[in-house]
Amino acid sequence: MFLVIISACNQANAREPEFFGANFSLSSCVQNAGDADALHDFMTTGMRINNPLPPELANHFLNGSDGTAWSFQSPDGNYAVVYRDDGLCTVFIKETDVAKYIKYMNESIKRISEKSDWTFSTNKIPMFAVEDELKTYEFTVSLPDKKVRVVMSAITKVKGNYQVAFSATLL
């Protein structure tokens, strides 16, 4: 299963950063939900981000919780990945076209559902984000060995430190 999602991440390009963002969100936080070591390996080996953020920078994302944070810039955008010691994993995307991100998330859900034994509680994420207020959408993903709760938060206008937060935790 690892290859199905990751291969989609590797196809990303600067013209469609939302494609990368959607697949990266699923790969990092859903696939590795509840497994700090697997996420660390994914970030260092798979994404080639050798070191997590130092504690003083990580705290900005951890908001006082214990855990680890990584940050990187690429042609596909600016990302932070946070794994709290309580098991919550969040991908923050600084700027993105939220409608395209949701479109690619829906395509990923369809592709993964057809090619793996993952099941999603939704077949289609609606365009829930608005311009002036951070809104959320929740769904679950059942994997062979775990069930994951996902909360997506988004705003269509660039406002604050990020436009999309994709959080996952074990149920």
Q: Does residue 11 surpass a pLDDT of 70?
A: no
Which pLDDT belongs to residue 7?
A: 43
Q: Does residue 88 surpass a pLDDT of 50?
A: yes
Question: For 143, phi and psi rounded to 5 degrees?
Answer: -105, 165
Torsion of CA 153, 156, 160, 166, to 10 degrees: 20
Which pLDDT belongs to residue 76?
A: 86
pTM of the model: 0.90
Q: Does residue 142 surpass a pLDDT of 60?
A: yes
Mean pLDDT of 22-41: 95
Task: In whole angstroms, give the CA distance from residue 5 to residue 68.
Answer: 23
Q: Does residue 36 surpass a pLDDT of 60?
A: yes
List Cβ neighbours of 44 (8 Å cut-off, separation of 6 or more).
Answer: 50
Which pLDDT belongs to residue 1?
A: 43
Q: Does residue 68 surpass a pLDDT of 60?
A: yes
Torsion of CA 161, 165, 168, 169, to 10 degrees: 40
Q: Does residue 14 surpass a pLDDT of 70?
A: no
Which pLDDT belongs to residue 6?
A: 45
Give residue-wise pLDDT tens across range 91-140.
Answer: 999 999 999 999 999 999 999 999 999 999 999 999 999 998 999 999 99
Mean pLDDT score of the chain: 90
Boundaries of every domain in the chain = 2-170
Which pLDDT belongs to residue 15?
A: 60
